[in-house]
Structure 1
Amino acid sequence: MLTNEEAKQRAITVIDQHKTEIIDLAQDILKHPETGWNETRTSKVTRTWFDKLSIPHRHGIGLTGVKGSIKGGAGPGPSVGLLGELDSLRVPEHPFSDPLTGAAHACGHHAQMGSMLGALTGLVDSSVLESLSGTIVPFAVPAEEFIEVENRLKLKAEGKIEFLGGKQELIKLDEFNDMDMAIRMHTGDLPGAMKMSVGGTCNGHVVKFVQYEGRGAHAGGSPHLGINALNAAMVAIHSMNANRETFRDDEMVRFHGIINRGGDAVSAIPSDVRLEWRVRAGSISAVRENNKRLDRSFKAGALAVGAKVSINTIPGYFPIHNDKTMKDIFIESAQYVIGNDHLQVVSDDVNRGHSSDLGDLSYVLPTLGFNVAGVSGVGHGKDYLVEDWENTIINTAKVYATFMIDLLHGDASPAKKVISSAKLDMTRSEYLRFQRDQAEEIHFDGAS
């Protein structure tokens, strides 16, 4: 059996040997972005890489997910999930956007996929596995970005999905039941010389899909016969803004959204207006409380002009609760690769403001998320680009591989410690019940 040090060095050497093709893979995914539940090409690229490494796998999980299984040769033991997200955003102005769909990797998920597949190369092609106990479960997962809500509601109506977020649906499908813990990286803007960061949390959220029904009429000749659904939406937005002074600073509440449909012709009073909205906050209780404010605001818009409104509340994401034992082990693994001076360790109560379905997973499974520097621009913006491919892809692949070795080497006692010390917020059944209870449809007639 290799020593822990020998195993790490072998994996790192193999990753360096395959550096060019690993980066090429990530850049290929960058140039072929696909939004959630549509990631057919990226799924195929993943399967091809798994086949090249002779990793047995299943595909079509949650429509496009791909999950492998890599057994250690030192005996049975814990199972560790290594996650990469397949999907992109829609940012038509991005230089690598799809000209037909507007899809673009403006959140760095191509880096997740490249580093995950790079780590697998280092672990599989280095004879390291013979010194590990347990199982590594690489899992390319769909639909982390909670976008295109109207299209996803159609998938739900067709019975293809129940939950609109990828990991939500995979929890329902029991696809994390064969894991004892899971890890996932994300790109990010870090201070100074920091190459990676671990710790912190994020906001939870719920999602709203809202439709105002008014009455069409000639906007010049007979506007008095119409009911302006766009004006109802504008009143609702103003009502939301009137609540902002009541937001608690420590809850980091966010209201934001878009109007998907604002009318059909400028010469007609808008009769069908649709909005996609979101409320975020640092705790589930704060999300639920502020969700009530949104509902009141949407009703206020309908009441003001006598329109009808349908308010669809869609279960969103939970705040991330990083596992403390995994975090401690990760710190050693990351410092082994990038050095002590390049890892930022963040207090677990620092809220970064975003939301992710990794938070959902962290409520039912020991989970760790970490951030990696090497990008420029603003996240979710047209200028968000990976600049330092060495750090973002290759160093991350090395840290992933090192972390797996630190967890599973020999008798896998560190991974067993993660399991024994884990304190989860919910069981799977409690999670599903909570999310299903959040789903609600309200129909309100402002004229009655």
Structure 2
Amino acid sequence: MSGTAPRLKAAAHAAVERRAEEIAALSDELMRRPEPGYAEHATAERFAAWLTEAGLQPRTGLARTGVKAVLPGGGAGPRVALVGELDALTLPEHPLADPATGAAHACGHHAQLAAVAGAAIGLGEVMAELDGSAALIAAPAEELGDVDGIMDAAGAPAGGSDRVEFPVGKAELLRLGAFDDVDMALLAHTGRGGGPRFSVGDTLNGSCVVRARFTGRSAHAGSSPWLGVNALKAATVAAHAVDAQRETFPDGDDVRLNYRITGDAGALGSVPASAVLHTMVRARTVEGLERAAEALTRAARAGALALGARVETDTLLAYLPLTSAPGLDDVVARNAHPLMGAEATARGRHLGACTDMGDLAHVMPVSHPYSGGAEGDHHSTGYRIVDHRAAAVEPALYLAGAVVDLLADGAREARRVLHASPPPLSLPQYLALRRGMNRHEIQEEA
């Protein structure tokens, strides 16, 4: 099968524009009913309903709430996934936060879903003339949620089919085989308010969470504190040791550290017998992550040793670093520029944030562009989509156009991308890497 890409793109764009107000309204609707990761039931139901109304037969309940539908083409060829994220961030102080769960769309995932829904409408008009197919995927849990629950379940006997092994949704979908038939993937993310209108080819950090649980011994804090072991002070010493590590990381690792300490709920007059130090470490490479995570576990051991406490450390890989496929970025940029202008484009930045698109990038070519439409900083109470056309409709247009370019004329462009950007890892190698970076260690009292 072959078709003229400009003609097919014009038809796809016209279909998107006819529904532009509905696409923008869907983005706004989802923004106002946020749900936390692995619990995005209403959001998934709404997305699946849109696909059903478009004549598709979506599969639901993937990794609890994920949704997937396939738009077949008119000829054999690669499969391109358009991916959106279902979840919101836990940020109870956000003005649009759900009062029951604290979830708020402070990262713009709702606009991604609307963009995929809109692109599906456009592609439905032209897929019969394309060589390949498109998968429309809504993924759960891009934000880190119940990290403690994942850590505590590690090594426990396998539960039911609903059990989650990984803290982020695309890793779970990969584990469960939802991407087995996908050759490459695109996801359009809203950018920071005040940032470039369009950005592509950016690299992002990966991250680990290191949890150190300190156990001491309670005692009367006034009359006999020497009989106790202060777990909270052990955690505080460890936190200072974490801070002392910052200058030891190579510049090229782009390490970011943030942590929080929680103590026990005991009486103020007692020596605290338990405390927990949670640290998230981000780095540009897997090797940088491993070096930094080891430094954090050393810091935890040092805090325990200084006070004579016991410490258990758990390291959990959260996200792998993201590097996109240059050829795929070129296709996306080529379709975005007519909408926004090449002069409005940034390319090749390094961002300290993380995304589980980095996990996908380890097993297939991906592109993760950023679009406009937002105000405020990601993950802040001021973040909000204020222009749903820029955040959802424009990405729907350039995503649909990119799929047309990739799959037109015998899918020549898609095959070129696949040849130029072979995946770094096979799926078994990826799963082994992910599981191999998780570990549990114990240091008993000195």
TM-score bracket for this pair, using the shorter chain length = over 0.9
Verify the 8 A CA contact 2:193 2:376 in the aligned structure 1.
no
Question: 2:323 matched to which residue of 1?
Answer: 321
- In percent, how many aligned pairs have the same letter? 36
For residue 10 of structure 2, what is the amino acid of its counterpart? Q
Find the aligned partners of 2:46 and 2:247 in 1 and give their Cα distance: 48
Q: 1:155: how far off?
A: 6.1
Over residues 120-179 of structure 1, what are the superposed CA-to-partner deviations in whole Å (9 max), with x where a residue is unaligned? 12222xx21222121100110011112331133456656302222211122222221101
Q: How does 1:98-177 map to 2 (within 5 A)?
A: 98-124=98-124, 127-153=125-151, 157=156, 159=159, 160-177=163-180
Q: 1:260: how far off?
A: 4.5
Over residues 321-376 of structure 1, what are the superposed CA-to-partner deviations in whole Å (9 max), with x where a residue is unaligned? 211211121121112332323322x23xx421111111111011111111112211
SS in 2 for 1:333: helix
Question: 2:421 matched to which residue of 1?
Answer: 422
Question: 1:445 matched to which residue of 2?
Answer: 444
Find the aligned partners of 1:11 and 1:154 in 2 and give their Cα distance: 48
Find the aligned partners of 1:191 and 1:97 in 2 and give their Cα distance: 23
Find the aligned partners of 1:379 and 1:264 in 2 and give their Cα distance: 36
More displaced stretch, 386-395 vs 252-261: 252-261
Question: 2:65 matched to which residue of 1?
Answer: 64
Q: 1:258: how far off?
A: 2.2
Out of 224, 227, 238, which is 1:225 matched to? 227
Q: 1:41: how far off?
A: 1.3
Find the aligned partners of 1:416 and 1:62 in 2 and give their Cα distance: 30
Q: 1:313: how far off?
A: 0.8
Verify the 8 A CA contact 2:28 2:388 in the aligned structure 1.
no
Find the aligned partners of 1:17 and 1:101 in 2 and give their Cα distance: 36
Question: 1:29 matched to which residue of 2?
Answer: 30
Verify the 8 A CA contact 1:230 1:273 in the aligned structure 2.
yes
Verify the 8 A CA contact 1:373 1:391 in the aligned structure 2.
yes
Over residues 44-74 of structure 1, what are the superposed CA-to-partner deviations in whole Å (9 max), with x where a residue is unaligned? 11111111112122111111111111101x2
Question: 1:198 matched to which residue of 2?
Answer: 200
Verify the 8 A CA contact 2:262 2:275 in the aligned structure 1.
yes
Find the aligned partners of 2:187 and 2:214 in 1 and give their Cα distance: 39
Question: 2:42 matched to which residue of 1?
Answer: 41
Find the aligned partners of 1:338 and 1:67 in 2 and give their Cα distance: 30
Verify the 8 A CA contact 1:263 1:273 in the aligned structure 2.
no
Over residues 8-31 of structure 1, what are the superposed CA-to-partner deviations in whole Å (9 max), with x where a residue is unaligned? 222222222212221221122111
Verify the 8 A CA contact 2:86 2:138 in the aligned structure 1.
yes
Verify the 8 A CA contact 1:2 1:128 in the aligned structure 2.
no
Question: 2:360 matched to which residue of 1?
Answer: 361
Q: 1:282: how far off?
A: 1.2
* Residue 78 (str. 1) matches residue 91 (str. 2): no
Cα distance, 1:276–1:338 mapped onto 2, change above 3 Å: same
Root mean square deviation of aligned Cα: 1.9
Verify the 8 A CA contact 1:375 1:388 in the aligned structure 2.
yes
* Residue 208 (str. 1) matches residue 207 (str. 2): no
Q: 1:226: how far off?
A: 2.4
For residue 13 of structure 1, what is the amino acid of its counterpart? A
SS in 2 for 1:76: strand
SS in 2 for 1:241: helix
For residue 373 of structure 2, what is the amino acid of its counterpart? G
Find the aligned partners of 1:262 and 1:103 in 2 and give their Cα distance: 26
Verify the 8 A CA contact 2:185 2:365 in the aligned structure 1.
yes
Cα distance, 1:37–1:154 mapped onto 2, change above 3 Å: farther
Over residues 365-408 of structure 1, what are the superposed CA-to-partner deviations in whole Å (9 max), with x where a residue is unaligned? 11111111221111111111112222111111111111111111
Question: 1:433 matched to which residue of 2?
Answer: 432
Question: 2:404 matched to which residue of 1?
Answer: 405
Aligned residue pairs, count: 440
Find the aligned partners of 1:191 and 1:380 in 2 and give their Cα distance: 15
Find the aligned partners of 2:263 and 2:75 in 1 and give their Cα distance: 57
Q: TM-score, normalised to structure 2's length?
A: 0.94
Question: 1:311 matched to which residue of 2?
Answer: 313
Structure 1, unaligned runs of 5 or more: none
Q: Could you list the runs of 4 or more consecutive aligned residues of structure 1 that deviate by over 6 angstroms after TM superposition?
A: none
SS in 2 for 1:278: strand
More displaced stretch, 415-424 vs 148-157: 148-157
For residue 183 of structure 2, what is the amino acid of its counterpart? D
